[in-house]
Amino acid sequence: MMTMAMITKIMRSVIFTALVSSLACGALYAQSTDLPAGAGQDIAQNSCTICHNASIITQQHLSPAAWTKEVDKMIRWNAPVLAADHDALIKYLADNFPVRPDAGLTYDLPVGPGRDVVQSACLSCHDASPILSAHKSSVQWVQTFHQMERFGTKLTPRQRAIVLNYLSKSVSASPQPPASSIEGR
Amino acid sequence: MSRKVVDDQTTGPLWQFSAARREWLGQGIRLAGAAWAAGMLPPGMLGSFSVLAQGLPQGSDRLIVRSAKFLDLETPVNLLNSWITPTNLFFVRDHLALPNSPGPEWRLNITGEVEKPLSLSLAELRHMESTTLTNTLECAGNGRAFYRPRAAGIQWERGAVGNARFTGPRLVDLLKHAGLKATAKHVAFDGFDDPPGKVPDFIRSIPIEKAVDDDTLVALEMNGGPLRLEHGYPARAIVPGWIGSASVKWLSEIKVLDHEFEGNFMNPGYRLPNSPLKPGQPVDPKDTHPATALRVKSTITRPGDGTLSKGRSIEVTGIAWAGENQIEQVDVSDNGGKTWSPAKLGSERATYSWRLWSFNWTPPSEGDFVILSKATDNKGNAQPEIPDWNPSGYLWNGMGRARVRVEA
């Protein structure tokens, strides 16, 4: 049984969809802010981008729990998400904009044995820039490990050895990507 | 042997707007207009389309567009190279749709715990004694992109900060006119921007002590001209030295309260944990407090990150600020912080304003370097390498950082 309120809601949704599709098809956000294709893209378009740009979504890298929190907040704020679409929307967001420790990083870790351990042990809490600029001795790195363990980092002795080896071998040898040129005086 | 800087631009053309974009915008507005006429759009939405009609605010097309709707624009750090940030290059942080510019009917109402509520026109405010104050305004989320785990929200990097002259009556004078009751404990600012749906209204409060401080203003002007709409025309709060969101824009009501305002943008918004958390650790809302003053921080504005440099001497420049405190020193390191050398602070200064700084760096050799900058304030607070993590990614003040490859 369809009530008047439901009809209005659907009408709104149709108009929003038309509006939003025209937005998405325009040249405006074609490169940086479109929502990627995939199951749930239509839900995100209908539910989210009627009020704000896709770029607010696409710049995020969040866990499923964090996406759930955001979606539920927006629903409290009247975002039109059908109950049946709730989980699919979160899955779409979590799949397409997941936590990637080095996502979008200016300072990426160089390739080398142990990179994966460093990535999971260190980059889940901070980006790679302090590691790359530190130039620490092994003794200093051990001190840093103690400091980080107070913040909850857990490393087995074997992992520590892998990380130390990586830091001394790969990081100091890593090339820095040059961008533009300036001349000194 | 002076060679001049050729180019230190590091920001990509993310923000370039085209004729096609403007044409497309016209279409969006017509559609919005039709939907509006049919009663289908919530009122808050039309304002955002009307700003899109004009593209970016005038002269602001060099800013990084973090979001066009709602408007969130970041200044590329290489443009933060003057003591006063030109208004068109000043970052913009809007939570909601940009409201339409109000007409002559606009009033600023002073209400709540006062003896005599006031309703003032713009002309009346302009006739009051006014104060000019240079203030560094920084978004609480500036640097959020560097926190791990990532926090939800606009992924600002280093440029959601600017320094400008703000002019207008002191808030304390308005409060004196209205007559504060003994019950006055907090002062809430409400703008006339209209949230869509059930989105909470953007209202924030400050404690009465800060509200009656001589330096807290109701600003009508920015850098000598009337406030531009995106910066809060016709009137915004200026709560100097505090996070940008304290300085509420498009003021329509200043309400004196006997308690701290309890809406979304005071709680859970803009709060910090009472004690350090492990990164990613959840916090009980009871163990948090509102973010207030900005933290000590420096940023390198030149050379841009990833610069290839030829030559024996390179001028490193930057900005440094400390909220309500004063910058005492900025140090620069080219060896990961093993040794530090003091930078030269610029002569221009004001209580709540950043200092420019510069450092003539002679690379010890060819090769790859990371230049670090570290600010220290007059209370002894030093900029950390990485700040403590907090769930919403506020007040990131990690050291300034720029990678440079030096070639002969």
The model's confidence at residue A169, banded by pLDDT at 50, 70 and 90, is confident
* C-alpha–C-alpha distance, residues A125 and B306, integer Å: 24
* Residue spans per domain, chain A: 11-96, 115-171
* C-alpha–C-alpha distance, residues B130 and B174, integer Å: 11
* C-alpha–C-alpha distance, residues B349 and A88, integer Å: 53
Q: At residue B57, does pLDDT exceed 60? A: yes
Tens-place pLDDT, residues A39-55: 999 999 999 998 899 99
Across B78-202, the runs of DSSP E, i.e. the strands, are 92-93, 108-112, 118-120, 131-138, 161-168, 186-191
* C-alpha–C-alpha distance, residues A18 and A36, integer Å: 18
Chain A contact for B408 (CB, 8 A cutoff)? no
The model's confidence at residue B34, banded by pLDDT at 50, 70 and 90, is very low
Q: Percent of chain B scored above 90 by pLDDT?
A: 74
Give the closest-approach CA distance of A1 to chain B in angstroms: 23
Lowest mean pLDDT among B13-27, B63-77, B246-260: B13-27
Structure tokens at B4: 């001049």
Cβ distance of B152 and A69 shorter than 8 Å:
yes
Give the closest-approach CA distance of B180 to chain A in angstroms: 35
Q: Across chain A, what does the average pLDDT equal? A: 74
3-state secondary structure chain A: CCCHHHHHHHHHHHHHHHHHHHHHHCCCCCCCCCCCCCCCHHHHHHHCCCCCCCHHHHCCCCCHHHHHHHHHHHHHCCCCCCHHHHHHHHHHHHHHCCCCCCCCCCCCCCCCCCHHHHHHHHCCCECCHHHHCCCCCHHHHHHHHHHHHHCCCCCCHHHHHHHHHHHHHHHCCCCCCCCCEEECC
Helix (H, G, I), strand (E, B) or coil at B66: strand
Structure tokens at B202: 């953007």
Chain A contact for B385 (CB, 8 A cutoff)? yes
Instruction: Report, as an integer, the average pLDDT of B7-16.
Output: 28
B297-407: CATH class? mainly beta
Is residue B83 within 8 A of residue B30, CB to CB? The reply is: no
Residues in A closer than 8 angstroms to B392, CB to CB, are none
Q: At residue A152, does pLDDT exceed 90? A: no
Cβ distance of B401 and A133 shorter than 8 Å:
yes
Q: Give which of B215, B209, B274, B266 is closest to B241, Cα–Cα.
A: B215
Give the closest-approach CA distance of A71 to chain B in angstroms: 11
| 0.85 surpassed by complex ipTM | no
Q: At residue A63, does pLDDT exceed 50? A: yes
In degrees, to the nearest 5, what angle opens at C-alpha B284 toward C-alphas B247 and B186? 30
* C-alpha–C-alpha distance, residues B47 and A30, integer Å: 23
- What pLDDT, on the 0 to 100 scale, is given for residue B246? 98
Longest dimension (CA), chain A: 78
* C-alpha–C-alpha distance, residues B374 and B6, integer Å: 27
- What pLDDT, on the 0 to 100 scale, is given for residue A145? 82
Q: Give which of B273, B265, B216, B275 is closest to B245, Cα–Cα.
A: B265
* Residue spans per domain, chain B: 297-407
Cβ distance of A60 and B401 shorter than 8 Å:
no
Residue type at B266 in one-letter notation: M
The model's confidence at residue A27, banded by pLDDT at 50, 70 and 90, is very low
Is residue B215 within 8 A of residue B240, CB to CB? The reply is: yes
Q: At residue A15, does pLDDT exceed 90? A: no
Which is more confident, B307 or B246? B246
Instruction: Report, as an integer, the average pLDDT of B146-159.
Output: 92
- What pLDDT, on the 0 to 100 scale, is given for residue B123? 97
Residues 6+ apart with CB under 8 A from B12: none
Secondary structure element (H or E) that encloses residue B302, with its range = strand B297-302
Tens-place pLDDT, residues B375-394: 999 999 999 998 999 999 99
Q: At residue B33, does pLDDT exceed 80? A: no
- What pLDDT, on the 0 to 100 scale, is given for residue A121? 81
Tens-place pLDDT, residues B338-377: 999 999 999 999 999 999 999 999 999 998 899 999 999 9
